């Protein structure tokens, strides 16, 4: 009971009093809507009709009878994978390179962070132009110049490339943010540890895997959880760029849920999908913690 002894009784009460308002706010803004979704997911309701209790029908429909749901789920996983590789992989790479840079770090950090502060709508429009083929956009023009003209295509209309094409802007956008967090962790690695390892003849790779990475692991877990939950909730860029199309090629669970609620006015079923998204996020976080902790223990 060490911490308790550090706080006299009166200040413990005041801490609780100060913690209560944010807790209530959290309950009202986060927990209540989630519970309401859970409640609504057992009903058939279009917003203006009478609510009809349907039991588990919505869940049965979601798991058994809805081909778009599974398509959107797989798309969302692929979208997540691309975002994670770009965001975490890219961030780690850039942050590592930054630490070995002597000058211009601030400039590069700022440049990498820039996309994170541009509005989503602007980014979506920017990338629609970049991927365009008629008129020729930046990407197709570049391919043409370097002699890969055969790869030129309407990236957002081709069912095979559209998902990667809508994932990339989201990944690119937040690379700088995660880079900043990981960079801060990397420069906190004690220099004497690294120097001792170098004196013992450790290669750069060994230095990274044996010293640096274990040291930043807690930060790495946090960034992974952040990036994963953001990735699973990704909505705006795919919605703005393709609206899930062509067909269902870039439909994510989130865009599908939105359409089910506000286009199909099927609020009950949309709530069912939203419950699935909440569970999916919780499972993902649990999995990450489990895997990374087990690795740390071994």
Partner 1 sequence: MKNLLRAAAAAAVTVLALTACGGGSSTDPSNVSPAGEVKPREISWLLSRPADGAVINIMTKLADDYAKDHPGFKLNLITTPDRPSYIQKLETLAAANKLPELFDTDATPFAQQLAKQGKMVDADKLLKTLDLYDDYRPGALDYQRFDDGSLFMIPFQFELEFIWYNKALLEKAGVAVPKSLDDIPAMCTSLRNAGITPIAIDGQDQWPLERYVAYQPFREAGPDFVQKLKKGEAKFADAAGQKTVNWMAELGKAKCFQEGFSAQGYSDAQNQFTSGQAAMYNIGTWELPSLATDKLNPAVRDDIDFFTLPTTAGSATSANEFVSPSGIGMAVNSKTYDPLVSDFLKFALQKYPAEYAATGALSPTTTVETTVPANATPLYRKALDQAKDLGSKQAMPWDTQLDPTTNGRLQQELVLLVQGNITPGQFTETMDNTVKQNAPKFFK
156 binds partner 1 (CB under 8 A): yes
Cα-Cα-Cα-Cα torsion 45, 50, 52, 58, nearest 10 degrees, comes to -10
Whole-angstrom distance, CA of residue 28 vs CA of residue 190: 43
Q: CA triplet 222, 86, 255: central angle to 5 degrees?
A: 85
132 binds partner 1 (CB under 8 A): yes
Considering only 180, 241, 273, 277, the residue that binds partner 1 (CB under 8 A) is: 241
267 binds partner 1 (CB under 8 A): yes
262 binds partner 1 (CB under 8 A): yes
For the window 11-30, what string marks contact with partner 1 as x by the rule CB under 8 A? ----------------x---
Considering only 8, 247, 283, 293, the residue that binds partner 1 (CB under 8 A) is: 247
Q: CA triplet 258, 262, 263: central angle to 5 degrees?
A: 100
Alpha carbon 183 to its chain's center: 19
Whole-angstrom distance, CA of residue 35 vs CA of residue 188: 41
Looking at beta carbons only, is 73 or 267 nearer to partner 1?
267
Give the contacts of 76 (CB within 8 A, at least 6 positions apart).
232, 234, 252, 253, 254
46 binds partner 1 (CB under 8 A): yes
190 binds partner 1 (CB under 8 A): no
Considering only 14, 49, 110, 209, the residue that binds partner 1 (CB under 8 A) is: 49
Looking at beta carbons only, is 78 or 128 nearer to partner 1?
128
Handedness of CA 139, 140, 142, 148 (dihedral sign): positive
| Residue 247 Cβ vs partner 1, minimum distance, rounded to whole Å | 4
Segment near partner 1 (CB under 8 A), from 86-94, 97-105, 108-116, 259-267?
A: 259-267
63 binds partner 1 (CB under 8 A): no
Segment near partner 1 (CB under 8 A), from 86-94, 217-225, 265-273, 289-297?
A: 265-273
Q: Residue 75: name the closest of 235, 285, 225 by CA.
A: 235
Looking at beta carbons only, is 36 or 110 nearer to partner 1?
36
Residue pair 164/86 in contact by the 8 Å Cβ criterion: no
Between strands 52-53 and 43-44, the pairing is: antiparallel
Q: In the range 203-232, which residues lie near partner 1 by CB under 8 A?
A: none
Considering only 78, 245, 278, 288, the residue that binds partner 1 (CB under 8 A) is: 245
112 binds partner 1 (CB under 8 A): no
39 binds partner 1 (CB under 8 A): yes
Handedness of CA 183, 187, 193, 197 (dihedral sign): positive
Segment near partner 1 (CB under 8 A), from 11-19, 126-134, 142-150, 284-292?
A: 126-134
Three-class secondary structure of residue 124 per DSSP: helix
Handedness of CA 88, 93, 96, 97 (dihedral sign): negative
Q: Residue 88: name the closest of 281, 223, 284, 230 by CA.
A: 223
Instruction: Give the total of residues touching partner 1 (CB under 8 A).
Output: 38
Give me the residues that bind partner 1 (CB under 8 A), please.
Answer: 27, 31-32, 35-36, 39-40, 46-51, 128, 131-134, 154, 156-157, 159, 241-248, 259-260, 262-267
């Amino acid at each position: 009971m060490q911490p308790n002894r550090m706080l006299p009784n009166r200040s413990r009460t005041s801490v609780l009093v100060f913690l209560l308002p944010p807790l209530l706010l959290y309950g009202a803004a986060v927990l209540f809507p989630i519970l309401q979704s859970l409640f609504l997911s057992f009903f058939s309701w279009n917003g203006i009709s009478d609510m009809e209790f349907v039991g588990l029908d919505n869940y049965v429909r979601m798991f058994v009878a809805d081909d778009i749901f599974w398509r959107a789920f797989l798309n969302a996983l692929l979208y997540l994978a691309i975002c994670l590789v770009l965001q975490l992989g890219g961030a780690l790479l850039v942050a590592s390179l930054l630490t070995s840079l002597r000058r211009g770090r601030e400039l590069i950090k700022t440049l990498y962070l820039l996309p994170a502060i541009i509005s989503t709508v602007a980014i979506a429009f920017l990338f629609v132009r970049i991927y365009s083929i008629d008129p020729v956009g930046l990407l197709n023009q570049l391919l043409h110049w370097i002699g890969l003209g055969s790869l030129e295509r309407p990236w957002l209309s081709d069912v095979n490339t559209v998902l990667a094409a809508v994932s990339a802007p989201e990944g690119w956008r937040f690379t700088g943010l995660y880079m900043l967090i990981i960079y801060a962790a990397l420069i906190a690695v004690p220099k004497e540890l690294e120097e001792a390892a170098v004196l013992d003849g450790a290669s750069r790779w060994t230095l990274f895997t044996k010293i640096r990475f274990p040291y930043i692991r807690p930060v790495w877990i946090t960034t992974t959880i952040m990036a994963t939950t953001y990735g699973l909730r990704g909505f705006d860029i795919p919605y703005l760029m393709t609206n899930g199309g062509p067909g269902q090629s870039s439909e994510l669970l989130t865009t599908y849920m939105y359409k089910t609620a506000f286009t199909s006015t099927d609020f009950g079923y949309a709530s069912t999908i939203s419950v699935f998204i909440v569970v999916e996020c919780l499972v993902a976080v649990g999995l990450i913690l489990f895997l990374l902790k087990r690795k740390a223990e071994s």
